């Protein structure tokens, strides 16, 4: 079976078919809506990529960013490569949706096996406000939320680098507040990606992450279409 690398076009196409609360920006976030399923859709891009490690690094880019600890990292090589990740977008001056999204992710973390989080599965929160969100600001936000833990990386950096990466993920917004509230989850080595509604039950999101992390061909692995 051929494997594919997610494209921004594919992510945008999925957004177009989602309910407003699933793809609206920050102001349209509906965290408390009832949801029995995680509204997770396996991403199948329209255009093929060759699928090798070099192509993945080229697509997602290895642009330099900074973590909440001030450490310089390459986005693909140091953050994505070799892991299953759940990515979201936040900014530290946010008073409503961003703390709620972070707490939702903490709930998901608590549902994951202890030997899986931080090793096989990692969380990544990218600032939509890199001009104001210094590493120190991200560190403070993470500590206040109880999210400054091993296996959870908060990222900032040069605005042009952040904007480029968010565009690659289909999460770019012209305004800081307009960022998407969807979670982007993916098994990077297996090239399996999903978009997950943030107001889904934490147990369902954790189950989806575990499915994505499972080796291809196992009973837990989600099916993909060529």
CA-based end-to-end distance of the chain: 7
In sequence order, the β-bridge partners of residue 124 are: 87, 153
Query: Which band of pLDDT confidence, cut at 50, 70 and 90, is reported for residue 217?
Result: low
151-173, pLDDT tens digit by residue?
Answer: 999 999 999 999 999 999 999 99
85-111, pLDDT tens digit by residue?
Answer: 999 999 999 999 999 999 999 999 999
Q: What is the DSSP string of 136-201?
A: HHHHHHHHHHT---TTEEEEE--HHHHHHHHHHTT---SSSTT-B--EEEEETTTTEEEEE-TTS-
Enter the tokens of residue 219. 């009973």
Maximal C-alpha separation, the chain: 45
Residue 40 has what pLDDT?
A: 55
Nearest-angstrom CA–CA distance, 113 and 43? 25
Query: How many other C-beta atoms lie within 10 A of the C-beta of residue 218?
Result: 9
CATH assignment, 8-23+31-213: 3.40.30.10
113, 221 Cβ separation under 8 angstroms: no
Q: Which residues of 159-177 are buried (b: 16+ CB within 10 A; e: fewer)?
A: eebbeebbebbbbbeeebe
Report helix angle 53-60 to 159-168, nearest 10. Answer: 120
Please report which residue ranges of 51-146 form alpha helices under DSSP H.
53-60, 97-111, 135-145
Mean pLDDT of 15-33: 39
Nearest-angstrom CA–CA distance, 154 and 215? 27
Residue 2 has what pLDDT?
A: 32
75, 63 Cβ separation under 8 angstroms: yes
Give me the sheet containing 41-42, strands edge to edge.
Answer: 41-42, 192-196, 183-187, 84-90, 121-127, 152-156, 64-67, 72-74
Query: Which band of pLDDT confidence, cut at 50, 70 and 90, is reported for residue 37?
Result: very low
> Which has more pLDDT, 75 or 58?
75
């Amino acid at each position: 079976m051929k494997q594919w690398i997610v494209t921004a076009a594919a992510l945008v196409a999925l957004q177009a078919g989602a309910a407003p609360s699933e793809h609206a920006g920050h102001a349209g976030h509906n965290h408390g809506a009832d949801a029995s399923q995680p509204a997770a859709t396996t991403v199948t891009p329209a255009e093929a990529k060759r699928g090798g490690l070099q192509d993945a690094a080229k697509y997602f880019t290895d642009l330099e960013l900074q973590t909440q600890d001030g450490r310089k990292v390459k986005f693909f090589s140091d953050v994505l490569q070799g892991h299953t990740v759940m990515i979201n977008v936040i900014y530290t001056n946010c008073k409503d949706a961003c703390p709620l999204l972070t707490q939702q992710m903490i709930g998901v973390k608590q549902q994951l096996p202890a030997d899986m989080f931080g090793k096989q599965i990692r969380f990544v929160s990218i600032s939509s406000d890199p001009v104001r969100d210094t590493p120190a600001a991200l560190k403070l936000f993470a500590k206040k939320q109880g999210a400054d833990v091993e296996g959870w990386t908060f990222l900032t950096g040069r605005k042009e680098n952040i904007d480029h990466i968010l565009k690659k993920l289909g999460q770019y917004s012209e305004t800081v507040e307009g960022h998407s509230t969807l979670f982007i989850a993916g098994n990077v080595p297996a090239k399996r990606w999903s978009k997950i509604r943030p107001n889904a039950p934490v147990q369902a999101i954790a189950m989806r992450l575990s499915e994505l992390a499972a080796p291809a061909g196992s009973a837990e692995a989600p099916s993909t279409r060529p």
